[in-house]
Structure 1
Amino acid sequence: MSAPEVMLQDNAKPLLKGWVLNGQGGARAINFQQLATLELQADEKLWLHWNKEHPSTLAWLKASQSISRFERQLLLEKTTRPRFLTLTEHTLLLFSRVIQPKARADSSELFSVRVRCTEQVVLSFAQPGAVFGDGLKQLFKEKLGPKTTAELLLLLMREATEQIDHAVEALAEFVDQQELRVDQEEKYEPDHQELLQIRRSSANLRRYLAPMKDLFAALAKAQPAWFDKGTRPYWNEISNMLIRCLEELELCKERVGFILDSERRKREQRTGRVMYLLAVVTAFFLPLSFVTGLLGINVGGIPGSDAGHGFLIACLIIAGLAAIQFMILRVLRWL
């Protein structure tokens, strides 16, 4: 089976990921069919990552008595803005964004992810193309995974933020390469469309990263009572990581403008040199053309045509005029 077929089958499932955490750093995977008979032990936690566009997801949410109609509307709404809501003492809703881990430098495609977190259950919802929480599988395998839902939420958001940070680094590295080539290669002309796409991508990323930065900073200050108190510095670090990303994006925007300005100045200089050369050639040959035309076009014929040295004299006159022009141009520093 080819990779696209596997991806298509995964995307067609309502439950994209399901893990039962044992509270000791490990976890076991579960599928959609096992949910009907699942009973959590006292020390176990549950994480379900849903395909929000699948009809069975909405059906499961409607059947869940612990999730209100208001929560369903928020979790499945078409457009979201990064934020978090504390609905009750034990329920937290968080709306954030994730980016593809191997996104191109000029890609700004961000996927919305919605999370409902309680002390025992974490429900996350995203569209099928979003990559979310893939790094936890290895942690569970090594028994180094999260032990509580608060730790799980922290690791999910940190992994998503690191993916954004890598994408911003790739964008900055691409701008570095373009800037270096413009500075070192006289004839290099950067792709304007690609640079403009980077500028648009930077603006689009800043649009979402700014509220995400505020989201995690606020979450570090106003944590629910069941959150691990030791996680507060880590939430602040996620916010700081996004601040660095925003600063890098702002710098990339300015550097793209510098590259475009530098390339435009080089083009104007090349055009100016060509026009200068044409002006010098014109100024040099126009008087000579006038003299030759004056000698060759008259009613009485060419002066000195009957004399034996007439042609030589005409050549000397033109050569003398050319020498005078050359000296004048040198004095004027045109040559």
Structure 2
Amino acid sequence: MDFIIDAWDFSQQPATRVQSLEGKPQAGCWYHLQRDTEGLDDWLKQAEIPEPLIDAMIEEDTRPRFQRLKDGFVLLLRGVNLNEGAAPEDMLSLRILSYKGTIFTFRKRPFKAISHIRQSLEKQDGPDNLNDFLVHLVEQLNLRIEDVIDSVEIKIEQMELEGFNKTAEQQSVLSTLHRRLLRLNRFVRPQLAALDKFTTESERWTDNELHQWLLNERDTTQRLLEQIDLMLEQLWMQRELLQQAVAEKMNRNTYWLSVIAGVFLPLSFLTGVFGINIGGMPGVENENAFEIFAWALVGIAIVEFLLLRRLRFW
């Protein structure tokens, strides 16, 4: 069965890997499944899972949500994409189905959070039961989202310290960070609502300690969302300051061009007048006329410079 990535039996302590994958799923076990592999839907039908739930688990596009069922629940979450060459903000969908005492997780691409839990189970240092597994899973998803958010926060702080000397490069960085935070916000916000409902419902079937851990993870998600909102505000402020710096730079350049044009305007007028090739021009018969005229232009430029300096044009 190529669609079964891994399976663990939590009915005994410590949890052990399910040896036989033939037949129906066993109660008290966790099955990690590749949702885009042929044959998965038939296997789930053999496990007597209703078709609407199967469709919800293998459909292409989903948003985080929680739905309580008669025999379990559906929990759709998102995690950052930490696969090689991928953008972290392209969040991956993780579908969790708890049905008649069995937990199924569905993925399309690998999750670092799932890999961490599998390694912990192999070292016999993982979750103690299925409820504990769910707490660990939410915790690991939050930890990796937090790492991405912290990296964005560090870049924003670096930009605040650098100033606005490289406006074009900084504009590109700001756009990248802004796009990353918007994509994170798109899924973390509904994920908070899903975890809020999940935590409330979990009080019915889990012990007080695990319920408190879930409350902590729900609060962590709330904190991450508030941190995203704060950084989005910081980016807008940085963008406004950057635009102001660009405007001031353009105004300064325009001002100096105007000063230079003001200095050369009378000089250009004089050279244009004396460039008229008609009779009656003064100095035509004088061999020192050009030198005199050149020094006169230099003198006029110096007078203009001193006049503008005295009038405090800069």
Counterpart of 2:228 in structure 1 is: 249
TM-score by length of 2: 0.84
Q: 1:191 to 1:133 in 2, by over 3 A?
A: same
Q: The residue matched to 2:202 in structure 1 has which SS? A: coil
Q: 1:298 to 1:77 in 2, by over 3 A?
A: closer
Query: Aligned equivalents of 1:208 and 1:52: distance in 2?
Result: 20
Q: 1:59 to 1:310 in 2, by over 3 A?
A: closer
> Would you say the 8 A contact 1:93–1:116 is kept in 2?
yes
Q: 1:105 to 1:258 in 2, by over 3 A?
A: farther
Deviations 1:158-195 (A, max 9, x none): 112212221222232233334433x1x62463264553
Q: 1:224 to 1:20 in 2, by over 3 A?
A: same
Q: The residue matched to 2:138 in structure 1 has which SS? A: helix
Within the candidate set 13, 16, 20, 1:28 is matched to 16
Query: Aligned equivalents of 1:205 and 1:302: distance in 2?
Result: 76
Q: Give the count of matched residue pairs.
A: 314
Letter in 1 for 2:301: A
Within the candidate set 70, 74, 84, 2:52 is matched to 70
Query: Aligned equivalents of 1:72 and 1:49: distance in 2?
Result: 14
Deviations 1:7-56 (A, max 9, x none): xxxxx9200111112543x222236x53438867xxxx311011111122
Counterpart of 1:177 in structure 2 is: 158
Correspondence list, 1:245-284, <5 A: 245-284=224-263
> Is 1:117 matched with 2:98?
yes
Let me know the Cα RMSD of the aligned residues. Answer: 3.1
Percent identity, aligned pairs only, is 23
Query: Aligned equivalents of 2:146 and 2:84: distance in 1?
Result: 11
Deviations 1:242-297 (A, max 9, x none): 22222222233233333433333333333333322222222112212323443453
Query: Aligned equivalents of 2:139 and 2:267: distance in 1?
Result: 77
Letter in 2 for 1:107: P
Counterpart of 1:13 in structure 2 is: 2
> Would you say the 8 A contact 2:80–2:88 is kept in 1?
no
Deviations 1:104-143 (A, max 9, x none): 8963111222212257321111214444522223432443
Query: Aligned equivalents of 2:294 and 2:55: distance in 1?
Result: 94
Counterpart of 2:36 in structure 1 is: 53
Correspondence list, 1:101-112, <5 A: 101=82, 107-112=88-93
TM-score by length of 1: 0.80
Query: Aligned equivalents of 1:120 and 1:62: distance in 2?
Result: 16
> Is 1:289 matched with 2:289?
no
> Would you say the 8 A contact 1:21–1:27 is kept in 2?
yes
Query: Aligned equivalents of 1:82 and 1:61: distance in 2?
Result: 22
Q: Which runs of 5+ in 1 are unaligned?
A: 1-11
Q: Which runs of 5+ in 2 are unaligned?
A: none
Q: The residue matched to 1:190 in structure 2 has which SS? A: helix
Q: 1:204 to 1:187 in 2, by over 3 A?
A: closer
> Would you say the 8 A contact 1:113–1:126 is kept in 2?
yes
Within the candidate set 114, 125, 135, 1:144 is matched to 125
Counterpart of 1:5 in structure 2 is: none
Q: 1:311 to 1:245 in 2, by over 3 A?
A: same
Deviates more, 1:299-308 or 1:325-334: 299-308
Letter in 1 for 2:256: L
